[in-house]
Chains A and B, each alone.
Chain A
């Protein structure tokens, strides 16, 4: 079983809609959760991180964490064509020195 799973997509949403990206993880000891955005040919850039159960909002982005279900999601409100990218979920258990990255979900926002 893969440690961090994401739907590969592509996920297509119309401009202005809410995009919902999901990530599940297998290690119950995981403590830190990160969402990165990666444009084609570029390196990943951090969007936000979340440590506690519940929602965390930053502008148009909301991260949701449910440790009991081992599930973390990213919602993008009012999606824009510029949001079209691959979104990577990363998980860290605070004991190891490295992250585990999911394979990424490709999002396409259609004008």
Chain B
């Protein structure tokens, strides 16, 4: 079974803090993704990566950056957290671009 894990289930941070969200997958998948999900707005793609050290902007990359130093690990960084970044953050991975995406359990981030 594919397993995607995320470093935290719940996180509370203050405005202006630097926030790291980490995602690890154990199936040697090429592709990894970061989404945020907000009520009424659905799943929105922030960034994705199709190889180590490669990254591509998704639909809403502003205020975020990512890092993929190892194939199994994909980090999302909020350089200076703001209240409008309060959301559920979901990581996913897939073998290739057209294959099924498998999701981690999600991190619910509250920025005060």
Q: Do A and B come from one complex?
A: yes
Q: Which residues of A contact B (CB under 8 A)?
A: 31-32, 34, 42-46, 49, 88, 90, 92, 94-99, 101-104
Residues of B within 8 A of A94 (CB): 97-98
| Contacting pair A43 B45 (CB below 8 A) | no
Give Cα A83 to B41, complex, Å. 22
| Contacting pair A98 B58 (CB below 8 A) | yes
Please name the residue on chain A nearest to B45 by beta carbon: A98
Q: List 7 A-B contacts (CB under 8 A).
A: A42-B106, A43-B105, A45-B103, A46-B101, A94-B97, A97-B48, A97-B97
Give Cα A44 to B100, complex, Å. 12
| Contacting pair B31 A97 (CB below 8 A) | yes
| Contacting pair B43 A49 (CB below 8 A) | no
A interface secondary structure, majority: loop
Known contacts A97-B48, A97-B50: does B97 contact A92 (CB below 8 Å)?
yes
| Contacting pair A98 B98 (CB below 8 A) | no
Residues of B within 8 A of A96 (CB): 97
Interface 0/1 of B75-99, CB less than 8 Å to A? 0000000000000001000000110
- Chain B interface, number of residues (Cβ within 8 angstroms): 21
* In-complex Cβ contact of B42 among A42, A46, A102 (8 A): A102
| Contacting pair A49 B100 (CB below 8 A) | yes
Known contacts A31-B98, A43-B103: does B42 contact A97 (CB below 8 Å)?
no
Residues of B within 8 A of A32 (CB): 98
- Give 9 A-B pairs besides A42-B106, A97-B56 with Cβ atoms closer than 8 angstroms: A34-B100, A43-B105, A88-B43, A92-B97, A94-B97, A97-B48, A98-B33, A98-B48, A103-B41
* In-complex Cβ contact of A43 among B31, B40, B104 (8 A): B104
Known contacts A31-B98, A43-B90, A94-B98: does B43 contact A101 (CB below 8 Å)?
yes
Give Cα A44 to B102, complex, Å. 8
| Contacting pair A104 B42 (CB below 8 A) | yes
